[in-house]
Amino acid sequence: MTELTGAPITDSDLRIVPANEASWDDLQDILGTADAGRCQCQWFKVAGWLWRASTREERIASFREQTGCGEPDAPTTSGLVAYLDDQPAGWVTVEPRTAYPKLRNQRVPWLGRDEDKDDGGVWAVTCLVVRRGYRGRGLTYPLARAAVDFARERGARSLEAYPMLAEAGKQITWGEAHVGVRQIFEDAGLTEVSHPTLRRVVMRIDFA
C-alpha cells in the first residue's frame, strides 16, 4: 500500500472542489485504469454483481451524470476532487446514503443498529481514491475532512463511513482501502458506532 513519493500533503497544499467544478478528464486521471477506473464508483449503485450487471460504458455514463463534472451550476454532485499544484490528485465520494441502493442489503452498515435506511439526512463516504504518484503522503486525511465540511454545508444531519481496520501482520491493499481506514475518519471527527465484522467498522459524525 505504501507509495512514498514526496513530503506529506497538508490541507493548505490542496485545492478541493465539488466534482461538478472539476473536469471529467481530471477525475478520470485520478481513477486511472485499475479497479477504481473500472468500477467508476458504482459498486454500491449497480443492482446485482457489478461486473456482470453492467458494462464499463454504462458505469462511465452513470458516474458522469452523478458527478456533473464540468457543470459548475449543477444542483448536486457526488463527491470532491483534490488538486495539488493544479494537478488532479484525489477523489472522495460524499452524498446522501440513499444514493447507494446496494447498501440496503449489505451487512456492514446496519448490523446492531436500528436505522431508517431511507433517511436522506444521513450522508455517506464510500470511496476515496488517490492518484498513483501521490499515494503514501496522507492525502486521504484532508479529503475526509473536506467531505465532513461538504456534507455539513449541504445540509446533512449526519455523515457515515465504513472503513477497514488494519490487523496485526496483515496489510490493507489499495483495492480494499477504497473505503478508507479508521484513522482517517477518526482524524476527521467521526467516532465508531458499530463493529459489524472483524475488519470493518461503521463511523459517524452527527452535526448540530
CATH code of 25's domain: 3.40.630.30
Tell me how many domains the chain contains: 1
Q: Which structural domain, as residue segments, surrounds residue 46?
A: 11-206
5 domain residue, yes or no = no
* Region of residue 116 (phi > 0: left; psi between -120 and 50: alpha; otherwise: beta): beta
Is residue 144 assigned to a domain? yes
In a domain, 4, yes or no: no
Structural domain contains residue 81: yes
Is 94 within a domain?
A: yes
25 belongs to a structural domain = yes
Residue 3 domain flag: no
Q: How far apart are CA 135 and CA 183, in angstroms?
A: 16
Give a yes or no: residue 123 inside a domain: yes
Tens-level pLDDT at each residue, the chain (208 residues): 445 458 999 999 999 999 999 999 999 999 998 788 999 999 999 988 888 889 999 999 999 999 999 999 999 999 999 999 999 999 999 999 999 999 999 889 999 999 999 999 999 999 999 999 999 999 999 999 999 999 999 999 999 999 988 766 666 554 567 899 999 999 999 999 999 988 899 999 999 8
Count CB neighbours of 49 within 10 A: 8
pTM of the model: 0.93
**Residue 125: CB atoms within 10 Å:** 30
Question: Is the torsion defined by CA of 118, 202, 106, 52 positive or negative?
Answer: positive
